[in-house]
């Protein structure tokens, strides 16, 4: 005989002989629900003659569909019968008591990968621009002289003209009993393209307090220099100031 709990639908396999025709109260071992379970209806025995059916028994409240009143004793008795019953099978228990797992919505993987790839690409572009700005700073300063101040604030020395001085040296010589200051060096194109050479070079002498004592100008021996090309220069000053301690060589505008 199969019993099914009206509350949780758990099924039990029991011996039908334990249930009289009038039924008895049982309790679900799983959820604790109690109900009145009618007994099995016996199959009619075969007979060769017709026997009048007995008068119908009075209809009880349980047979009329009303919930029977259950006493504490009946519940105890029902528990002793239903509690030992096991579900019909593990699969049946899972079938009538399903487990529901709430799934949280998740963000699709594609859009997240696109965002990450976008940030990585942006970082690479910024790094490439920064590298190019440092690597080619001399060319940038030549094309855009105002950028020289930005590079200087970052501690990067650049020459806005692209033409610079290298290996500048000076020495005192004596010619016909007179002291002569000889200044030598190179003018070099440090850029990546051909550049014109400023035609006025100014040499300044100053004392220990950096006060200017004397200056003079000369013209270099080249007008245009190719990338990496250099030209030497030599300039002399007779009878330089005795108090001269510092020497500066720079390009200057004509007449300055």
CATH code for the domain in which residue 172 is found: 2.60.40.10
Region 68-81: mean pLDDT is 44
User: In the chain, what percentage of residues exceed pLDDT 70?
Assistant: 68
pLDDT at residue 67 in the model: 46
Region 57-68: mean pLDDT is 48
Specify whether 126 is located in the same domain as 202.
Answer: no
Specify whether 207 is located in the same domain as 238.
Answer: yes
Does some domain include residue 7? yes
CB 206 within 8 A of CB 173: no
Does some domain include residue 73? yes
Q: How far apart are CA 28 and CA 200, in angstroms?
A: 111
pLDDT at residue 256 in the model: 58
Specify whether 154 is located in the same domain as 168.
Answer: no
Does some domain include residue 214? yes
Full domain range(s) for residue 150: 108-160
Quick: pLDDT tens for 122-145. Answer: 999 999 988 888 877 767 766 676
Question: At 109, is the pLDDT very low, low, confident or very high (cuts 50, 70, 90)?
Answer: confident
Specify whether 154 is located in the same domain as 174.
Answer: no
In our burial notation (b when 16+ CB lie closer than 10 A, e otherwise), range 61-90 reads: ebeeeeeeeeeeebeebbbebbeebebbee
Does some domain include residue 138? yes
Does some domain include residue 46? no
Specify whether 172 is located in the same domain as 197.
Answer: yes
Q: How far apart are CA 36 and CA 28, in angstroms?
A: 11
Specify whether 37 is located in the same domain as 113.
Answer: no
Quick: pLDDT tens for 32-62. Answer: 888 888 877 665 545 444 555 555 555 544 4
CB 79 within 8 A of CB 27: yes
Specify whether 184 is located in the same domain as 217.
Answer: yes
Region 64-71: mean pLDDT is 46
pLDDT at residue 76 in the model: 43
The number of domains in the chain is: 3
Specify whether 229 is located in the same domain as 174.
Answer: yes
Instruction: Indicate the average pLDDT of the chain.
Output: 75
Handedness of CA 206, 212, 216, 222 (dihedral sign): positive
Domain stops at, among 160, 175, 195: 160
Does some domain include residue 32? yes
Specify whether 92 is located in the same domain as 129.
Answer: no
């Amino acid at each position: 005989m199969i019993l099914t709990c009206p509350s949780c639908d758990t099924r039990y396999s029991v011996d039908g002989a334990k249930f009289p025709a009038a039924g008895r109260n049982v309790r679900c071992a799983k959820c604790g629900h109690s109900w009145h379970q009618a007994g099995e209806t016996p199959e009619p025995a075969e007979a060769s003659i017709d026997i009048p059916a007995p008068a119908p028994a009075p209809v009880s409240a349980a047979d009329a569909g009303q919930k029977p009143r259950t006493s504490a004793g009946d519940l105890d008795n029902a528990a002793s019968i239903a509690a030992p019953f096991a579900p019909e099978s593990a699969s049946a228990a899972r079938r009538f008591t399903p487990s529901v797992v709430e799934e949280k919505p998740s963000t699709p993987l594609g859009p997240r990968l696109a965002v990450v790839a976008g940030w990585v690409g942006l970082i690479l572009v910024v790094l490439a621009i920064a590298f190019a700005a440092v690597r080619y700073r001399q060319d940038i300063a030549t094309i855009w002289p105002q950028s020289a101040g930005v590079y200087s604030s970052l501690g990067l020395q650049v020459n806005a003209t692209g033409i610079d001085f290298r290996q500048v040296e000076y020495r005192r010589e004596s010619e016909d009993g007179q002291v002569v200051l000889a200044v030598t060096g190179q003018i070099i194109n440090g850029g990546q393209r051909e550049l014109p050479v400023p035609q006025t070079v100014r040499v300044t002498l100053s004392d220990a307090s950096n006060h200017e004592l004397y200056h003079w100008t000369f013209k270099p021996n080249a007008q245009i220099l190719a990338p990496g090309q250099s030209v030497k220069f030599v300039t002399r000053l007779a009878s330089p100031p005795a108090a001269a301690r510092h020497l500066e060589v720079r390009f200057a505008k004509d007449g300055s």
